[in-house]
Copies of this chain bind each other. A is one copy, B any other.
Amino acid sequence: MHVDADLLRADFDTLAEIGATSDGGVNRPSLGESHLAARTWFLERAAAAGLETRVDAAGNHSAVLPARGSTLLLGSHLDSVPSGGRFDGALGVVAALHVLLALKKAAAELPVSLEAIDFTDEEGTLVGLLGSEALAGTLTPETLASPRGGREALLAGLERAGLEERGLAAARRDPRSLAGYLELHIEQGPVLERAGAQIGVVTSIVGARSFSLVFRGEAGHAGTTPMNLRRDAGLAAADFAVAAEELVVRDFAGCVATIGHVELEPGAYNVIPRTARVALEFRSAGALTLGELEASLLARARSAAARRGVELEIAPVGRWEPTPLDPAVCDAIERAAGALGLLSLRLHSGAGHDAQALASVTPAGMIFVPSVGGVSHDPRELTAWEDCVNGANVLLGAALELAGRRVH
């Protein structure tokens, strides 16, 4: 049994037109108009193919091939980073849909329901893993109170999607109702390509934390305030950015730290910045190292602020623990790849994924396919079409094994 590669491609291409940017990427930030349009397309496509559809209290959109047993989830996400690529998330959702279509076409009688699910806000334009954490029951009021995209953006997004903040938790599923979780995703890194492997079997997912840092100095006239009398919040942020990179490179091999956004206020050529708002994220495969990295980075931020005589506010806005994936699910994925004659490789994921949330409540696994040049979160993101089809067929094979295992 295989997915229909031509239809998979047609659907993938149709989806990529929703929120398409002129440079070949997509711009579908979570719960924005183009993201909501993509979700609507997904449900209509599933319904037209005769699948059941559902939308839960966290806005997760699903196509369902129902059976009497528990539910095997096949998921990913349709949102993108701002000006992102076409493959990140979208491939996994479309492939999951086509796994269901292949099984429906074959009239396979399975002992579990199969559900292709598009999780809300994986990328974290608003919160990060919002939909999958709600489903797993791990979304906390604290997370919603200080979302990394800001409260205003979160509330506006929920309203656009017709969701209630207080109702989000109702999306939680009883773990006993779940048979497992599988996700196909592009690697977003160079490992598979360099190794010449076609399929990646993900053994663990990186831990990540993000913080909103606000440096508060003093505005002043850029012409009349001598350099030595300034309390320039922008310079404090610059000092910190440089120090943070030096720290990670020198003391935290294998870890990453990124400042992806900075906002200076008031923001004019002739005014010394009063405020610098800095978006900091850092990642490590190990929980212990992640904690040490956090302490060291925040110490650097504090000394940068102190050196410039500016205040510093530190607010945690995201925290995802390093997560091992289920060894038995890894084995199933590896066997499915082998059965198709594909070369697979076990690897760690430096990117966060919805599987991280699911792994806390059900056996979870992830299938990676190679990213050309390792490029992702960029319009140039690309995976060879043959690799996409391979990934979808491994997803199908692994789903069949996991479904079958429930009854034997």
Contacts and interface: CB of A to CB of B under 8 A. Distances in A.
A111 to B, nearest CB: 36
16 contacts: A81-B268, A82-B267, A188-B223, A208-B223, A220-B376, A220-B377, A222-B258, A227-B249, A232-B258, A234-B241, A235-B242, A239-B242, A261-B267, A269-B281, A270-B281, A270-B377
Interface stretch (A162-170, A271-279, A332-340, A382-390): A271-279
> What number of copies of this chain does the assembly contain?
2
B260 A125 contact: no
B271 A377 contact: yes
A225 interface: yes
Interface of A: 81-84, 123-125, 148, 187-189, 206, 208, 210, 218-228, 232, 234-235, 237-239, 241-242, 245, 248-249, 256-262, 264-274, 279-281, 283, 317-318, 349-352, 374-378
A106 to B, nearest CB: 36
Contacts of A258: 222, 232, 269-272
A374 B229 CA distance: 11
A298 to B, nearest CB: 16
Given A258-B271, A262-B264, 4 more contacts: A222-B283, A222-B377, A223-B350, A227-B256
Nearest 6 pairs of A and B residues by beta carbon: A189-B224, A238-B241, A222-B258, A82-B266, A224-B350, A238-B238
A212 to B, nearest CB: 9
B148 A269 contact: yes
A239 B249 CA distance: 15
